[in-house]
């Protein structure tokens, strides 16, 4: 590939990252815009008592978008160029991120119930879409930096499953506090497994 083509690929990737960051930022902003104070309240305790479900839903969705952005950033830090296929799969992710304010509103209006599995399912779909981004970039488009196959598959598994698992465990832990220990164990286990996979090729060399 010529230097000129390489420069175009870098510019394409850079613009895609900037656009994606803007969508994540707008989604977080819309979460806050949709929160309105109650018409009638008496004192801080009553105010926060009435707004509790909204604030809790906002906190969960803020954390979800943060985790998804972190995952998105880590994926794109492994890429060296972009193409149309990456644009398409990335737009699937951004489309689902843009719908999170709607899912959050359903969550606080229903206060669980049928809205809870819909919300968790929406977050799980974001993970599946992120898996499609990485799967295309690593295995089809060959857009990533050189890496062992085991590491590429581990990244695919992590970005695909982690958003849904973390969201489901968060909802579970709000009701059952011991679920936080399970979440910490999951994060520690994935981190340990990732380090083992990365170190294995170095030892073999």
DSSP category for residue 178: T
Look at the block and give the residue holding tokens 């018409």: 39
- Tokens 């919300």, located at residue: 119
What is the per-residue pLDDT for 81?
Answer: 93
CB 134 within 8 A of CB 159: yes
DSSP state of 34: T
pTM of the model: 0.81
Low-confidence stretches of the chain (pLDDT beneath 50): 1-4, 202, 204-205
User: Residue 203: what pLDDT?
Assistant: 52
- Cβ neighbours, 10 Å, residue 77: 9
> Within 13 Å of residue 158, how many CA atoms lie on the same side as its CB?
23
End-to-end CA distance of the chain: 28
Structure-token match 């104070």, residue found: 37
> What's the pLDDT tens digit per position in 39-90?
777 767 776 676 777 888 888 889 889 889 998 999 999 999 999 999 999 9
The H or E element containing residue 152 is: helix 149-175
User: Nearest 5°: phi and psi at 52?
Assistant: -50, -50
Instruction: Please give the pLDDT value at position 1.
Output: 46
* Degrees to nearest 5, angle at CA 178 with 115 and 45: 60
Unique residue bearing structure tokens 């969705």: 61
Tokens 């870098």 correspond to 10
What is the signed CA dihedral for 192, 196, 197, 200, rounded to 10 degrees? 170
- Distance, in Å, from the CA atom of 98 to the CA atom of 103, rounded to the nearest integer, reads 10
- In this prediction, residue 78 carries a pLDDT of 92
């Amino acid at each position: 590939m010529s230097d000129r083509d390489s420069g175009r690929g870098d510019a394409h990737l850079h613009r895609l990252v900037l656009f994606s960051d803007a969508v994540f930022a707008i989604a977080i902003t819309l979460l806050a815009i949709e929160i309105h104070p109650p018409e009638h309240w008496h004192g801080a305790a009553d105010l926060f008592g009435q707004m509790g479900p909204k604030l809790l839903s906002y906190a969960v969705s803020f954390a979800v978008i943060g985790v998804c952005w972190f995952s998105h950033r880590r994926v794109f830090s492994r890429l060296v160029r972009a193409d149309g296929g990456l644009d398409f799969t990335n737009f699937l992710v951004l489309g689902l991120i843009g719908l999170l304010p709607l899912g959050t509103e359903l969550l606080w209006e229903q206060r669980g119930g049928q809205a809870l599995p819909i919300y968790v399912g929406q977050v799980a779909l974001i993970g599946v879409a992120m898996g499609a981004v990485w799967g295309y970039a690593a295995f089809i488009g060959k857009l990533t930096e050189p890496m062992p196959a085991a590491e590429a598959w581990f990244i695919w598994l992590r970005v695909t499953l982690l958003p849904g698992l973390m969201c489901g465990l968060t909802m579970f832990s709000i009701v059952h506090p011991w679920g936080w220990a399970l979440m910490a164990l999951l994060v520690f286990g994935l981190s340990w497994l990732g380090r083992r996979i990365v170190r294995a090729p170095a030892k073999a060399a």
